[in-house]
A and B are shown apart, each in its own frame.
Chain A
Amino acid sequence: MRYIALYIVLFGFWLLLTFSLATDNLIVGAVAALLITPYFGNYFVKDVGKWVQPHRYVWLVIYLFIFTWECIKANFDVAYRVLHPAMPIKPGIVKVKLNLKTDMARVMLANSITMTPGTISVDIVDDYIYIHWIYVSSVEPEIYSRKVAGRFEKYIKMIFE
């Protein structure tokens, strides 16, 4: 089942990338997807049942809007810090506890954190994520956990878990 799901995703991606429905193009895509599927079928899709639940896609769309807004804010934030003559930075690496369990959700959270204002995820060890922060505004773990990860955690939980 998971191999079939991966095959469909790969073939759809090929069609988007080449954007033509000629016969030879379809054959090349089908053969290429068939060759790739056995190698990566084990890693990519863990649970096919989650893919057919429509409420996850609704949350995905909401999440994409919030993510885009945060991303634009991040850019103005970095631009402000870079162009300011005194460079208002106070960098440090903080440790935040994760509440997500599946691998996919953790990867998405780490990617989202990298694109939000002033933070880069450096590493995940066990249940903690290490984050480089360009302006450490407080040293209380509860406050900075909420500031860094709280914005996305609930949406990602809805989408991937």
Chain B
Amino acid sequence: MNSTSIITVVLLCIGVLFNLFGCIGLVRLPDVYNRLQSATKCVTLGTCSILLSLVVYFGFNDTGVKSLVAIPLLFFASTVGAHALARGAYYFGVKLGEGTVKDDYKEQVEIEEKKQQLHEIP
């Protein structure tokens, strides 16, 4: 077993472990917004680690560069997706879970909804 395959296996294990943590968080945490936290962070870094292990395994050729290019795409996709899901859930009326200490967004959403109602009347 040479050093390349050792690094590959270590990165793969880290990736799978963090994906597992993300999925446990998805089940255990109380509401939509907290679940999004674990879904974006752990799952993104876990998948990035798996892709990096592919880069180490294949080296700088066809497959390796493709997985390297996939890393920034995955970052942007997951962060923008988390923003869209959180905002959409709030506007749809999903309440923040129990134990929430602060909610500054509520006023803003109420202002927006009033504006929309004013536009709908005429």
Q: Which residues of A contact B (CB under 8 A)?
A: 13, 16-17, 19-20, 71-72, 74-75, 78-79, 81-83, 87, 89-95, 110-111, 114-115, 118, 120-123, 125, 130, 132, 134, 136, 139
B114 within 8 A of A: no
| Chain A residue at smallest Cβ distance from B14 | A75
Contacts of B105 in A (CB 8 A): 93, 95, 122-123, 130
Give the Cβ gap from B70 to chain A, nearest Cβ, in Å.
9
Given pairs A123-B105, A123-B108, 16 additional interface contacts (CB within 8 A): A17-B65, A74-B41, A75-B18, A75-B45, A78-B21, A78-B42, A82-B25, A87-B28, A91-B96, A93-B33, A93-B103, A93-B106, A111-B75, A111-B76, A115-B75, A120-B36
Majority SS of interface residues in chain B?
helix
Q: How far is the CB of B41 from chain A (nearest CB, A)?
A: 5
The answer to whether A90 touches B79, judged by C-beta atoms less than 8 angstroms apart, is no
- 9 closest A-B pairs by CB: A92-B102, A95-B104, A82-B25, A114-B79, A111-B79, A79-B21, A93-B105, A122-B86, A92-B101
A94 touches B37 (CB 8 A): no
Among A82, A114, A122, the residue within 8 A (CB) of B28 is A82
Q: Which residues of B contact A95 (CB under 8 A)?
A: 104-105
Q: Which of A20, A83, A91, A123 contacts B83 (CB 8 A)?
A: A123
Decide if B44 is an interface residue (CB 8 Å cutoff): yes
The answer to whether the Cβ of B10 comes within 8 Å of any Cβ in the partner chain is no
Q: Tell me if B8 is interfacial: C-beta within 8 Å of chain A.
A: no
B120 within 8 Å of A (CB atoms): no
Given the known inter-chain contacts A74-B41, A130-B105, A136-B101, please indicate yes or no for A111 contacting B18, CB distance below 8 A: no
Given the known inter-chain contacts A134-B34, A134-B37, please indicate yes or no for A115 contacting B42, CB distance below 8 A: no
A and B contact pairs by CB, cutoff 8 A, 10 listed: A17-B66, A75-B42, A83-B21, A93-B33, A93-B103, A110-B79, A120-B82, A122-B105, A123-B105, A136-B101
Looking at the assembled complex, report how far the CB atom of A1 sits from the nearest CB atom of chain B, in whole angstroms: 25
B60 (CB) vs chain A CBs: closest residue: A19
A148 to chain B, nearest CB (A): 12
Contact indicator A19/B65 (Cβ below 8 Å)? yes
Select from chain A the residue with minimum beta-carbon distance to B64: A19
Q: How far is the CB of B43 from chain A (nearest CB, A)?
A: 10
- Contact of A90 with B37 at beta-carbon distance under 8 Å, contacts A78-B21, A114-B83 already known: no
Contact B25 A91 (CB under 8 A): no
